[in-house]
Amino acid sequence: MTNFRMQRINKQLQREVSLLLELRIKNETAKKAIITDVDCSRDLEHAKVFFTTLDPSERDAVHEALGSIAGVLRRHLGKLLTIRQVPALSFFVDTSEEYGRSIDILLDSLKSASQDFEEQEEEDETSDDDPGDDPDDVQ
């Protein structure tokens, strides 16, 4: 668990990297990245920067572009931040959104299956109430 200071640094790194990509970086492929999270080590040596893209097919190209400008980003961060050491940036694709979608699909399928099961039980109960099936009715 990270303490308050590390959470603050992670949020600041996320904000600054996003702004640098938007305003300072000229690489159009790298600008397609949407920074979702930053996880910095406690000693500020390394930072994992998680990103996603609007188009999943562009993720590999964006990942390579971000890797190529990591040094430039670190240099700009060194000028902007007031921390003693600027961490080395490593970029990772954030798949949490896709994972969340797959969980939603599973939950929806379970919900529809349970509704189908309840409807089937109701049909079975109504078919059991036919007056012709009652053994007490002797004609």
Q: What is the CATH number of the domain that holds 42?
A: 3.30.300.20
Residue 19, pLDDT score: 96
For residue 102, tell me if it sits in a domain. no
Whether 116 is covered by a domain: the verdict is no
17's CB contacts (< 8 A; 6+ apart) are: 35, 38, 49, 73, 77, 89
* Structural domain count of the chain: 1
Report the share of the chain in percent with pLDDT over 90: 66
| 53 part of a folded domain | yes
Query: How far is the C-alpha of 65 from the C-alpha of 23, rounded, in Å?
Result: 16
Lowest-pLDDT range, 7-11, 27-31, 75-79, 135-139?
135-139
User: pTM for this structure?
Assistant: 0.76
Residue 64: per-residue pLDDT:
97
Show the domain range for 32.
4-95
Q: Decide if 115 is inside a domain.
A: no
- Cα separation, 52 vs 121, in Å, equals 45
Q: Is residue 50 part of a domain?
A: yes
Does any domain span residue 18? yes
pLDDT tens-digit map of 37-50? 999 999 999 999 99
User: What residue spans of 1-139 are helical by DSSP H?
Assistant: 4-23, 59-68, 70-80, 96-128
Calculate what percentage of the chain has a pLDDT beyond 70: 89
